[in-house]
Amino acid sequence: MNKIIEKYNLSEHVAKFIIEAPMIAKSRKPGNFVILRVGEKGERMPLTIVDSDIEKGTITLIVQNVGVSSGKLCKLEAGDFITDLVGPLGKATHIHKAGTILALGGGVGIAPLFPIVKAFKQAGNRVLTVLAARSKDLIILENEMREWSDEVIVMTDDGSSGRKGLVTEGAEEFIKREKVNECVAIGPAIMMKFCALTTKKYDIPTQVSLNTIMVDGTGMCGACRVTVNGETKFTCIDGPEFNAHQIDFDELLQRLRAYKTEEDQAKSKK
C-alpha cells in the first residue's frame, strides 16, 4: 500500500495527490504512467506521472473526478492509502533537441503534458504551449506551464479564461507564425484526433499519449489495443505515445464507448 502524503484540490473536480512511492520516483521518466486501485475490488486506473521527488520518494498524480473509481480516489485525503500502485509503466517520451516544440493540452490531459514540456525545455528546445478546456476551472497547471514554456495560449470553450475557441485554433496561430519542428498533444481522444488532422496539413510530426481502457498493464489482457499504421498495438507496453498521423482514431473512439452503459449504471449506484 502507498500512503498519500499531500492532497490539493485544483478545482471542484480535479485533485492533485503526492504519494509515497520511492522506487517509482527513482526510475520514472516523462511519459511513464502507473496503474492504481482503490479498494480490494476497485477498478484499475492508469494515470500518468506528473512529477516526482527522488529525495522525498514521492510521485505526483492528478486526477479528474469523472466516474466511480476516480470519485473514490478523489475522496481520499492525506494519510490515507492507495491499495495498489504499479509502475512506472509504458515507454518514456523520446526527449531530444528538435528545435521548436508545439505542446497541446486539453482538460486533465494538461497534467501528463507538463513533465514532457518541462523535459523538452530542459533539453534546449523552444516550447510553444496551448492549454484548452471547457471552462476556466478545468485549466490546470497554468503557472507551471508558463514557467517551462516560451509562450502559452489559453483557450476555453466558453471564453471564461484566455480566448474563446478550440485548441486547434491556438495551434494554428503558432504554426502560421513560425516553423514548428514537432508537436505533442494530450487530451480527450476526440481532441487529439483533430489536433492530428491539423498538424498533418502542415506536415508536422506529432505524438499523442493515449488513455485507453486498461486492466493489467502488461499487454496480456488486450483491453488497451489500438490500431497504428494498420497494426495492432498495446497502449500499456507499446505506448502510451504513438504517431498521431497513424492512429485509427475512429476505432479508438468506438472502443472507448464500449462500456458506457456499464459506466452509467455504476454512476447511478453511487
Blockwise average pLDDT, block size 10, the chain, 270 residues: 94 93 96 91 88 96 89 94 93 95 95 95 98 93 96 96 95 97 96 97 96 69 87 89 95 78 57
* Cβ pair 139, 216 in contact under 8 A: no
List of residues 6+ apart from 156 with CB closer than 8 A: 132, 133, 134, 135, 136, 139, 162, 163, 164
* Cβ pair 92, 66 in contact under 8 A: no
* Cell matching residue 57: 520518494
* Cβ pair 74, 147 in contact under 8 A: no
* Cis previous bond, 115, omega within 30: no
Q: What residues does 156 pair with on adjacent strands?
A: 133, 164
* Cell matching residue 77: 485525503
pLDDT digits (tens, 9 = 90+) for 24-60: 999 999 999 999 999 888 888 889 999 999 999 999 9
pLDDT at site 213: 66
- Domain boundaries, given as residue ranges, for the chain: 2-89, 100-256
Report the top-level CATH class of 2-89.
mainly beta
pLDDT at site 42: 84
CATH, domain range 100-256: 3.40.50.80
pLDDT at site 59: 97
- Do 2-89 and 100-256 fold alike per CATH? no
Query: Is pTM beyond 0.95 here?
Result: no
